[in-house]
Amino acid sequence: MNIFPQQNSLGTVLIVDDVLENLDLLSQTLTSQGYQVRCAKNGYLALMSIKHELPDLILLDIKMPGMNGYQVCQNLKENYKTKDIPIIFLSSAYETEEKIQAFAVGGVDYITKPFEVAEVLARVNTQMGLLKTQLELKQLNQELEKRIKRRTDELERLNQELRLENEERKKIQEKLIYDALHDSLTNLPNRTLFIDRVKMLIRHCHRFPSFQFAILFIDLDRFKLINDSLGHHAGDRLLVFCGQLFQKCVRESDTVARLGGDEFGILLDNISDVTHAIDTAETIKMQLSKSSPLFNHHFSPSASIGIVIGNYQCQNATDLLRNADIAMYRAKEMGKARYAIFNQELHQQAIQRLEIESDLKKALAFNEMLVYYQPIVELQTKRLKGFECLIRWQHPKKGLISPLEFIPIAEECGLISSLGDWVLQESCRQLKQWQTRYSHHSELSINVNFSPKQFEDIYLPQTIHNVLLDNELEPHHLNIEITENVFLSNNITVSKILSQLDKLQIPISLDDFGTGYSSLSYLHRFPISVIKIDGSFIRQMQNHNKYLEIVKTITTLGHTLGMKIIAEGIETERQLHTLQELGCEFGQGYFFGKPLQASVAEKLIQISNKD
């Protein structure tokens, strides 16, 4: 169809009628109104005309020779190209059946002859108006469909972007949650996730009282040595290796976590008894002993392991982890590379340690610390050479506390430097006072013990030098005692400190020689001037020949290297004579005197002075 095919045209109308007068009248009337008009005298001519060009509207006479209007209409309706052309039937018949048939074959209207021009125009205009409206609606629908399609495409694009954004946000959220619950170095669960899983098992125990689990708290031995000597990269490689090794030692249902630093936790789910935890600890020890994870270094790691059992009596995950930590420290105290099982005795000891730490922080401020002095004697003449200064703690409630109890705690909580500085200052002050009072003992010296922790301070030589200046003491009157443990820390720092002390002409004594690694490299690499033989060898000299040989060997070695020898733990005349025969220069022990308060030590100086 072609509505408004030309400018100012209202549309094309095909008139089909076998009466020429009707064709002329209708043609003139519609043309005068602005319609394009085509005419056909019969049905065959009409079909041929329509085939050539589709009209917008057909005025179709019903009664025509050859092919009547109904047949023409049926023919048009059967063709998909022409089926929608509106047809108004023209007829001189007034029968209702004829009208019904007209509408039945597909007509849209019916005009009775003789027709009124106004009626024809009205009905044509109505149908053409409907066509125009339909066309406009169709165009509007097409435009609307285009808009809907564009909007649908846009919404689909936005939905796709939103889906991608949501997926990315979900990945980021999952990554954030994962990172919050896992260790970035080893990819193991961290302390937070570990405690959450412990809480879950505690709740399970409360529902099922026979259910048990275990926590293994693992701390790598000598990890700081690896970091300090080989660097943090080697330390990180060791941590990753140990995390993987621990995972191979447990079941898939168990949890291995890095709790921080060189500490790991293992959560053993659903165990029958403590044997399972012990077997796991033994497996870890064995696997570590067979491993050498650091390239080009013959190093087998070891670990101290604390074990605690969880059951229906447990209430708090943090307390369980703390108890496993306490057991781990007991394992370290027992010699490392072993495990310990938590019990209430350990808990009580931990509480006592905490109390000691708390009281220790106040001890210096309240003048509770004392220095005791044990005589050091020249063995050949039995003359007083000096004193070893030993710290004691006069607790207001617990009485005199041995340094064996509080020195390890002071080292752990960072108080050892303050204690060491105080002992050095007090000892030097006391020595200067004795030298001033007793002129014949102006060469008395003091031996002061230093913790390996103090040798982590690069300013230690300056501190010692300042104390000597404050008390007007010559450097050779102070003898610094260290143990082999000093060399297990940062060798570079230790070497610098010992070199500076040597330049200050302050003698260095190696204490407890023979009980540790006793590496000969220490003796020639560092400026050591005195070797102290541990009392355990002295006490066994007469009972076991091998101990006598050890003492003889150490003495000979020291003399060969130009060092003096001090024997500790001398308790009998026989021990004294043996050491004199071996050429040992100095000694100390209960035979000469136990550690004494300053006032008692001064009386010893007075007696020695009279001699």
**What pLDDT was estimated at residue 195?**
95
Q: Which numeric CATH code is attached to 191-342? A: 3.30.70.270
Residue 77 one-letter amino acid: K
Contacts of 543 (CB under 8 A, 6+ apart): none
The mean per-residue pLDDT over the stretch 454-466 comes to: 93
The CA–CA distances, whole Å, from 44 to 47, 48, 68, 309, 506 equal 5, 6, 10, 106, 136
**What pLDDT was estimated at residue 521?**
66
Q: What are the structure tokens assigned to 418, written together?
A: 């303050």
Mean pLDDT of the chain: 89
Domain 12-138 classified CATH 3.40.50.2300? yes
**What pLDDT was estimated at residue 408?**
86
Express each pLDDT in 45-70 by its tens digit.
999 999 889 999 999 999 898 899 99
Q: What is the phi/psi pair of residue 225, to 5°?
A: -60, -40
Of 407-411, 500-504, 567-571, the range with the lowest mean pLDDT is 407-411
Most confident of 96-110, 117-131, 186-200: 186-200
Express each pLDDT in 156-180 by its tens digit.
899 998 999 899 999 998 888 988 9
**What pLDDT was estimated at residue 1?**
55
pTM over 0.85: no
Buried b (16+ CB within 10 A) or exposed e, 245-264: bbbebbeeebbbbbbeebbb
The CA–CA distances, whole Å, from 382 to 360, 591, 595 equal 38, 11, 17
E-strand ranges in 158-254 read 213-220
Express each pLDDT in 505-525 by its tens digit.
999 999 888 666 555 666 778
Every domain of the chain with CATH number 3.40.50.2300 lies at 12-138
**Is the predicted pLDDT of residue 400 greater than 60, yes or no?**
yes
**What pLDDT was estimated at residue 7?**
46
Sheet with 87-91: strands ordered across: 36-40, 12-16, 57-61, 87-91, 109-112
The mean per-residue pLDDT over the stretch 237-254 comes to: 94
Superfamily of domain 355-610: EAL domain (3.20.20.450)
**What pLDDT was estimated at residue 354?**
79
Residue 369 three-state SS: strand
* CB contact at 8 A, 434 and 474: no
CA angle 222, 226, 231 (to 5 degrees): 155
**What pLDDT was estimated at residue 440?**
84
> Among candidates 11, 3, 75, 69, which has minimal Cα distance to 40?
69
**What pLDDT was estimated at residue 334?**
84
Q: How far apart are CA 365 and CA 357, in angstroms?
A: 14
Beta bridge partners of 339: 305
Every domain of the chain with CATH number 3.20.20.450 lies at 355-610
Given phi > 0 = left and psi -120 to 50 = alpha, else beta, which region is 316?
beta
The mean per-residue pLDDT over the stretch 69-90 comes to: 92
| Proportion of the chain above pLDDT 70, given as a percent | 95
The mean per-residue pLDDT over the stretch 589-599 comes to: 94
**Is the predicted pLDDT of residue 30 greater than 80, yes or no?**
yes
Every domain of the chain with CATH number 3.30.70.270 lies at 191-342
The mean per-residue pLDDT over the stretch 183-197 comes to: 94
